Structure 1
């Protein structure tokens, strides 16, 4: 296996795990609501999740490993990656915002802080930014 293939496999696995985490969060309140299911379908396309993997994840999202979020920086970096994926199409709609806030709360942010981070992120994600710039911006006062 070449180095390029190795990193491509990691990239695919990470996308699958991110998607599985979103499914877990969408179902955290008991069942996946229609608006969440619609968004998950869209995320499955953004994450290149096959129909077979989509069904596997819906049946048992907990069987996919969750990366430990041990530090504030790691948690923010994980959220940063997901927000970047949302902005692949240069926008965040209401349904995506709803789910990413829910996801941020699942990562350990309070709902108020999650909303603040998402609102700041919406202002930023019109171009490409380094994680260090993003972290500084999010942690700075309004």
Structure 2
């Protein structure tokens, strides 16, 4: 799967896949739409579906790696919110998980709730990732 000497980027991607898996499992079940979404994120980043599934089944062995820049932080929280919406049901525990992850990713605690809700509404309204990111920059100040 991955070599002994993984790049920092590979470690961050594995950590992100693990976070997505944790969110998917938080409501007590893993919906096929959620699994497909996680696999698509992995594929978009050059991973095979089997590698993504392997990471999800061995999540406890993955050491968390946080993104090092604001754009990557936004992309990770965006993916988490999109994951939350994947099964069509937004559970309060999923929303709380996304808000807590946004804070752990380094966003200011005063804006994380607004950020998660803005992404959620933007995705539901069919806005592009870049449009949502551009709008969010006004209150994130990065």
TM-score if structure 1 supplies the norm length?
Answer: 0.58
1:47 has 2:21 as partner: no
1:44-81 deviation line (CA, Å, top 9, x unaligned): 9723676x865632xx3xx3254541111110011111
Q: Distance in 2 between matches of 1:19 and 1:45?
A: 15
Instruction: Spell out the pairing of 1:47-66 with structure 2 (5 A cutoff).
Output: 47=35, 56-57=58-59, 60=60, 63-64=61-62, 66=64
Task: Specify the alignment match of 2:100 in structure 1.
Answer: 102
Give the number of equivalent residue pairs.
113
Task: Specify the alignment match of 2:74 in structure 1.
Answer: 76
TM-score if structure 2 supplies the norm length?
Answer: 0.58
CA contact under 8 A between 1:101 and 1:115: conserved in structure 2?
A: yes
Q: Distance in 2 between matches of 1:78 and 1:41?
A: 22
Task: Specify the alignment match of 1:112 in structure 2.
Answer: 110
Q: Distance in 1 between matches of 2:76 and 2:97?
A: 15
Deviation at 1:129, TM superposition (A): 3.0
Structure 2 unaligned regions, length at least 5 = 1-12, 37-51
CA contact under 8 A between 2:103 and 2:112: conserved in structure 1?
A: yes
Sort the Cα spacing of 1:47 and 1:66 in 2 relative to 1 into closer, same or farther, 3 A.
Answer: farther
CA contact under 8 A between 1:19 and 1:43: conserved in structure 2?
A: no
Q: Secondary structure at the match of 1:89?
A: coil
Deviation at 1:107, TM superposition (A): 0.6
Sort the Cα spacing of 1:116 and 1:66 in 2 relative to 1 into closer, same or farther, 3 A.
Answer: same
